[in-house]
């Protein structure tokens, strides 16, 4: 099994929720978070002053094959280079 984490701009949240539901994923979590970085990544004046932008992280558990298919499908659907998808192996206790 794998944990899949999707890091995205907060504006993409609803689109990703719709995508996950369309892929029959109905058990996932969302956490608001901030992305800290250089001013080139930050859009508004407020973001540039604070050095952070509003992001979110989705976390879900999937089997190995579904995790890769999900990541590829999401990247093709959104075509947004600011979205990062990572996965790592887990073992249920």
Say if residues 57 and 7 touch (Cβ distance below 8 Å).
yes
pLDDT at 46 over 70: no
The pLDDT value recorded for residue 18 is: 95
pLDDT at 47 over 90: no
pLDDT band for position 36 (cuts 50, 70, 90): confident
Q: What is the CATH number of the domain that holds 8?
A: 3.30.70.120
**How many domains does the chain contain in total?**
1
Quote the domain boundaries for residue 10: 2-89
Least Cα distance to 62 among 19, 9, 26, 14 occurs for 26
pLDDT at 14 over 80: yes
pLDDT band for position 80 (cuts 50, 70, 90): confident
């Amino acid at each position: 099994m794998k944990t899949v984490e999707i890091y995205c701009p907060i504006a993409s949240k609803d689109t990703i929720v719709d995508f996950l539901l369309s892929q029959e994923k109905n058990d996932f979590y969302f956490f608001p978070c901030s992305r800290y970085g250089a001013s080139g990544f930050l859009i508004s004046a407020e973001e540039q002053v604070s050095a952070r932008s509003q992001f979110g992280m989705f976390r879900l558990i999937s089997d190995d094959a579904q995790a890769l298919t999900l990541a590829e499908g999401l990247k093709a659907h959104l075509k947004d280079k600011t979205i990062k998808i990572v996965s790592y192996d887990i073992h249920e206790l």
